């Protein structure tokens, strides 16, 4: 049994920063994540993308932000249970929460913070026969490291920001040898700037833009060698490629969290914005996983939520102690 002050379910940016804020209040944290590494969406979906709206960082790669958050949390020696999903939450005889993972690891604490983000990551997959057979053999649903596509031929499909951004990145930086972007319609859902950039790159012959078409088949011997594209008016044709990257977004699925008796609205946990507490006393929900009026799924909002939630957690754990806010400039950071 792993014992701590706060069990944090989800080691994304919000969970990690909450370790730091809890540490300032002398509260210890243990994080659980179903992924094998910390960092949530930043590490799993877009580690090499620059983020421009982290206060104080005009631009920072998502992966670097996670490295920094890990460094910032390090003095408070957080524990990690990685590669295991939190599947159940119960109360024991001492009125403590017990969180059990998919591998049976048990964690005990008076407070649970759910920082589960989008929940379990599930990419939306196009309905193509045999697609699963090519996963990690040329079919990727997420671009983790663009350098992986150096000198390769890539067919990207999708009409949202992810498809547009990556097509631009791989073509503009001359990483991939050939980039084709296939989309069902002639108009795109992404930002206007990105749409314009794709059009410009297509005019320059650096993106092969195939609209009003979709990928309907895939072929190859042990790895992707081609895709079959069906065009609305020109019929079907085979396109040779090394990679097929369908970027249709992620299906939000709370996974096991949905069955813990928490108030849920549209796949997110309803919280009180006073302290981001849920309907179960002692359980908080912070970051992308929660919902309230005017909620914004932004990293900086999650940082604020975690900061307020640990203040409330402190009051629950130490009802007799008064917590006075102290600036880090005055007190510094004294780890455990
Ligand atoms: C392509 C892209 C670009 C983005 N750009 C920006 C941007 O520029 N600025 C910005 O502010 N935001 C941006 N975002 C959004 C930002 O990434 C999220 O707001 C942020 O990741 C939320 O952090 P989080 O810690 O709440 O959740 P997440 O990062 O989603 O992490 C949650 C973690 O919880 C884990 N988890 C879930 N359920 C369980 C369970 N039952 N057991 C164990 N672990 C579990 C997951 O595996 C995951 O690792 C972007 C998102 C994407 C996809």
Q: In this structure, which residue's CA is closest to atom 44 in ligand 1?
A: 33
Q: In this structure, which residue's CA is closest to atom 41 in ligand 1?
A: 86
DSSP track, 10-21: --SHHHHHHHHH
Query: Which of 35, 41, 50, 65, when mutated, tests ligand 1's pocket best, judged by the most ligand atoms within 8 Å of its CB?
Result: 41
pLDDT score of 70: 98
CB of 45 sitting under 6 A from ligand 1: yes
Mean pLDDT for back-to-back runs of 10 residues, the chain (336 residues): 97 98 97 92 88 97 97 98 93 96 95 92 88 94 89 97 94 96 94 94 97 97 97 96 93 85 95 98 98 97 98 97 90 92
Cα–Cα distance for residue pair 79/31, rounded to 1 Å: 6
CB of 255 sitting under 6 A from ligand 1: yes
Q: Sign of torsion, CA 128 134 139 140?
A: positive
Contact 107, 4 (CB under 8 A): yes
Alpha helix positions (H), the chain: 13-24, 40-44, 62-73, 161-172, 192-203, 299-317, 328-331
Phi and psi at residue 239, in whole multiples of 5°? -120, 125
Single out the residue of 125, 243, 247, 248 nearest to residue 175, CA to CA: 243
At CA 55, angle to CA 64 and CA 168, rounded to 5?
55
Q: In this structure, which residue's CA is closest to atom 2 in ligand 1?
A: 46
Tally Cβ neighbours within 10 Å of residue 19: 29
Q: In this structure, which residue's CA is closest to atom 12 in ligand 1?
A: 298
Reduce the DSSP state of residue 60 to 3 states and report it: strand
pLDDT score of 195: 96
Single out the residue of 271, 265, 264 nearest to residue 286, CA to CA: 271
Q: From the alpha carbon of 14, which atom of ligand 1 is closest? A: 25
Single out the residue of 160, 204, 205 nearest to residue 184, CA to CA: 160
Contacts of 301 (CB under 8 A, 6+ apart): 295
DSSP single-letter state for residue 191? -
Cα–Cα distance for residue pair 175/177, rounded to 1 Å: 7
DSSP single-letter state for residue 73? H
Single out the residue of 68, 48, 4, 13 nearest to residue 336, CA to CA: 4
pLDDT score of 46: 86
Q: How far is the CA of 143 from the centre of ligand 1 (A)?
A: 15
Cα–Cα distance for residue pair 29/110, rounded to 1 Å: 11
pLDDT score of 139: 97
Single out the residue of 230, 13, 241 nearest to residue 140, CA to CA: 241
Q: In this structure, which residue's CA is closest to atom 51 in ligand 1?
A: 41
Q: To which residue do tokens 């701590």 refer?
A: 4
At CA 47, angle to CA 41 and CA 52, rounded to 5?
90
Q: How far is the CA of 310 from the centre of ligand 1 (A)?
A: 19
Cα–Cα distance for residue pair 216/268, rounded to 1 Å: 33
Cα–Cα distance for residue pair 270/121, rounded to 1 Å: 20
pTM to 2 decimal places: 0.77
pLDDT score of 123: 82
Secondary structure in 3-state letters for 277-335: ECCCCCEEECHHHEECCCCCCCHHHHHHHHHHHHHHHHHHHCCCCCCCCCCHHHHCCCC
Contact 275, 306 (CB under 8 A): no
Contact 97, 232 (CB under 8 A): no
Cα–Cα distance for residue pair 336/237, rounded to 1 Å: 63
- Domains within the chain, CATH numbers bracketed: 2-121+250-331 (3.50.50.60), 125-246 (3.50.50.60)
CB of 282 sitting under 6 A from ligand 1: no
């Amino acid at each position: 049994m792993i014992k701590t002050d706060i069990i944090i379910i989800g080691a994304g940016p919000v969970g990690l920063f909450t370790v730091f804020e809890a540490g300032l209040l002398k509260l210890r944290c243990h994080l659980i994540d179903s992924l094998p590494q910390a960092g949530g969406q930043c590490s799993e979906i877009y580690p090499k993308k620059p983020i421009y709206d982290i206060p104080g960082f005009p631009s920072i790669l998502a992966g670097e932000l996670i490295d920094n958050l890990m460094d910032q949390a390090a003095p408070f020696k957080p524990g990690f249970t990685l590669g295991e999903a939190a599947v159940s939450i119960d109360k024991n005889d001492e009125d403590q929460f017990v969180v059990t993972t998919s591998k049976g690891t048990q964690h005990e604490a008076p407070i649970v913070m759910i920082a589960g983000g989008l929940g379990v990551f599930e990419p939306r997959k196009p309905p193509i026969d045999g697609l699963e057979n090519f996963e990690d053999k040329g079919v990727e649903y997420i671009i983790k490291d663009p350098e992986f596509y150096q000198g390769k031929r890539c067919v990207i499909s999708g009409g949202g920001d992810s498809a547009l951004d990556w097509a631009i990145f791989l073509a503009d930086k001359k990483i991939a040898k050939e980039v084709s972007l296939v989309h069902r319609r002639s108009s795109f859902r992404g930002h206007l700037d990105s749409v314009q950039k794709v059009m410009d790159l297509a005019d320059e012959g650096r993106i092969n833009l195939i609209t009003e078409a979709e990928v309907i088949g895939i072929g190859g011997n042990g790895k992707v060698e081609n895709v079959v594209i069906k065009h609305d008016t020109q019929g079907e044709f085979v396109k040779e490629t090394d990679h097929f990257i369908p970027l249709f977004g992620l299906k939000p699925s709370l996974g096991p969290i949905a069955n813990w008796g928490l108030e849920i609205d549209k796949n997110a946990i309803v919280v009180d914005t006073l302290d981001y507490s849920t309907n179960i006393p002692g359980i908080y929900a912070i970051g992308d996983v929660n919902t309230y009026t005017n909620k914004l799924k932004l990293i900086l909002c999650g940082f604020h939520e975690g900061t307020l939630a640990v203040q409330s957690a402190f009051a629950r754990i130490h009802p007799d102690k008064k917590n006075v806010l102290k600036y880090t400039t005055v007190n510094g950071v004294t780890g455990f």
